Amino acid sequence: MDPILIEIGSLQIRWYGLFLVLAIFASFEIAKRILKGWGLDPERFEQIAFWAVIWGVVGARVGYVITSPGDFSSNPVSALYIWQGGLSFHGAIIGGLIPFVYHYYRSKIPVWAYLDAVVPGISLGIMAGRLGNIMNGSDTVGRLTNWPIGFTWPASASGFPGVCPGINDISEVVRCAPDAIVRGPVHFTQLYGVLIGLVLLLLSVYWLRQNRAYGYVFWQFVLWYSMLRSVFEETFRLNPLWIKVYLNEQAGIGLFTATQIISIPLIVVAIFFLMRWKGKREALAPSPLSKVPGAKK
Distance between CA atoms of residues 53 and 83, nearest Å:
15
Distance between CA atoms of residues 83 and 12, nearest Å:
10
- State how far the alpha carbon of 94 is from the alpha carbons of 32, 55, 62, 134, 259, in Å: 22, 9, 11, 25, 14
* pLDDT reported for residue 94: 86
* pLDDT reported for residue 285: 41
Q: Give the mean pLDDT per block of 10 residues along the chain (297 residues).
A: 78 83 93 92 89 87 74 68 68 86 87 94 93 85 94 87 82 73 93 97 96 93 96 93 88 91 94 88 47 44
* pLDDT reported for residue 287: 39
* pLDDT reported for residue 282: 66
* pLDDT reported for residue 157: 84
* pLDDT reported for residue 90: 75
* pLDDT reported for residue 8: 82
Which amino acid type is present at position 104? Y
